[in-house]
Structure 1
Amino acid sequence: MLLQVQGVDAYCYTGGKAFDAARPTAVFIHGAQNDHSVWALQTRYFAHHGFNVLALDLPGHGRSKGAAKASVEALSQWLLELLDAAAVARALLVGHSMGSLIALETAHAAPDRVSQLALLGSTYPMKVSEALLEAARSDEQSAIDMVNIWSHSSIAQKPSFPGPGFYAMGGARRLKQRIAQINPERVLYTDFSACNGYANGTAAAASVRCPTLFIFGLRDMMTPAKSTRLLTTAIAHAQVVQVDAGHELMAEQPDAVLDALFAFASAPAAA
């Protein structure tokens, strides 16, 4: 599904179903140097079980045009304009990593547009080390490799992974390489700088009143459990689910993540 946002194409995967304004909408927001495909194992189920799905490509990522945005606030404003373009008045926002900050900021900036909030692999402040920032700026492939290693709980993939030949770690690395190939403007550095520079998380979290779900990976080295306390304390009414995974929890534990997300999205309080 292509929409026009800020004068250029914005792509959203709809899970194989036509968009139907009569159904509730779930918007899936990816993290740094990724695209909509990181949600492939969750979004199709949502689309075939009663939800509109908009799994978006952020500007400069995947099939969406335009330059990558330099701040979380600018990405949040772009997201609100995308919702306008899709004629979506109110939606469940599901964000992973950088995408979780975009979802959080949007819930703060436009609370009437957000019915529920699901934050995966989230933390605040989402600081990026100077060494990793510099690698993203000057040696992107090294930065991709570092992130890929730190984002997975193990290089050994489990037999229960979906589909013959499915290799989460290799797939994640190749996706980041592809984003770098199609956009030479150092997207990873821009994304990391946006995460590093976001300073409104405390106020945004304190303002959240809608039903909220956190999903954390027990083995997450990028956003470890001890770093999540500010958010979980500020949004005290939130549910917290932990899965046995690293930062790339949607691929490492797809069923557990889907079960938690769909149960949350389908809860009676969401109506």
Structure 2
Amino acid sequence: MELSVNDTPAYLYTGGRPFDRQLPVVVLIHGAGHDHSVWNYQARRLAHHGFAVLAPDLPGHGRSQGSPLPTIEALADWVEALLDAAGVVHAALAGHSMGSLVALQTAAQAPARITKLILIGSVAPMPVAPPLLEAAAHARDAAHGMINQWSYTPASQLGASPVPGISLTGLNQRLMERQRAGVLANDLAACNAYLGGLDAAARIAVPCAMLCGERDQMTPRKAVKPLQEALAKVPGGARMIVIKGAGHAMMAEAPDAVGDAMRGFLTSA
């Protein structure tokens, strides 16, 4: 569906079901250089099991108009504006990679509106390797190759996929290629510059789950600890869920495991 957010058209995928704000709402926020389609499986799973799903293309991404926003804080403001435009008072947030920083910042600055938080492939801070920043700015094809190499496990690189006949790395390559010029460089720079993640985490007081790919090279398990510890006010502590055998692109490599973990957390007390 389409909404006007800050007077600019935005596209939102609703998981194949009409959006019903009377149901528990969950907003799925994609990562750098991507769009809503990274959530296709999880969005459908949630939408067909009692949730109202909003998986937006962030500004300047996919089918959403406007320019990509330059900071995580600006993206968090946009998510708040999206909730207003959709007439949503309370929502759970889930974000992957860059999207996890956006979800974290949104939950910190709008605590009365956010019910639960799911951070997938997340660390804070989230520094980006200088060669990747440089490639994203000046050699997109090289940047796409780096991201594919670091996001997927060796099995996926060799063609393994939970969906027969689908090349996960090929699919991700096309997804990144169809974004407008400058989007990936903008997004990676926003991740690299965002230094408020641990302060934001210290203000979170709603249930939080952290999904980490067992073989994630971009946000590895050992790097997650500072963020998990900063979420000290979260009831019961931030719940760590390790997605076995998956890398950073865990929604694609382990769609069932990620969907199960998300649904299980969202329906838990």
Offset of residue 157 of structure 1 = 3.6
TM-score computed with the length of structure 1 as normaliser: 0.95
Q: Equivalent residues in 2 for 1:1-271 (5 A)? A: 1-154=1-154, 155-158=157-160, 161-162=162-163, 164-179=164-179, 183-184=180-181, 186-236=182-232, 237-243=237-243, 244-267=245-268, 269=269
Q: What secondary structure is seen at the aligned counterpart in 1 of 2:177?
A: helix
Offset of residue 80 of structure 1 = 0.4
Instruction: Tell me if the contact between 2:28 and 2:94 (Cα under 8 Å) persists in the aligned partners.
Output: yes
Runs of 4+ in 1 over 3 A off after TM superposition: none
Instruction: Tell me if the contact between 2:215 and 2:248 (Cα under 8 Å) persists in the aligned partners.
Output: yes
Question: Can you list the C-alpha shifts for 1:222-252, whole angstroms capped at 9, x where unaligned?
Answer: 1111211111111241111111211000000
Tell me how far apart the structure 2 counterparts of residues 224 and 45 of structure 1 sit (CA, whole Å): 26
TM-score computed with the length of structure 2 as normaliser: 0.95
Q: Structure 2: which 5+ runs fail to align?
A: none
Tell me how far apart the structure 2 counterparts of residues 125 and 227 of structure 1 sit (CA, whole Å): 10
Offset of residue 202 of structure 1 = 1.2
Tell me how far apart the structure 2 counterparts of residues 202 and 60 of structure 1 sit (CA, whole Å): 27
Residue identity opposite 1:202 in structure 2: L
Q: What secondary structure is seen at the aligned counterpart in 2 of 1:241?
A: strand
Tell me how far apart the structure 1 counterparts of residues 221 and 72 of structure 2 sit (CA, whole Å): 22
Residue identity opposite 1:266 in structure 2: T
**Backbone CA RMSD of aligned residues:** 1.0
Residue identity opposite 2:216 in structure 1: D
Tell me how far apart the structure 2 counterparts of residues 41 and 24 of structure 1 sit (CA, whole Å): 18
Count of residues in correspondence between the two structures: 262
Q: Structure 1: which 5+ runs fail to align?
A: none
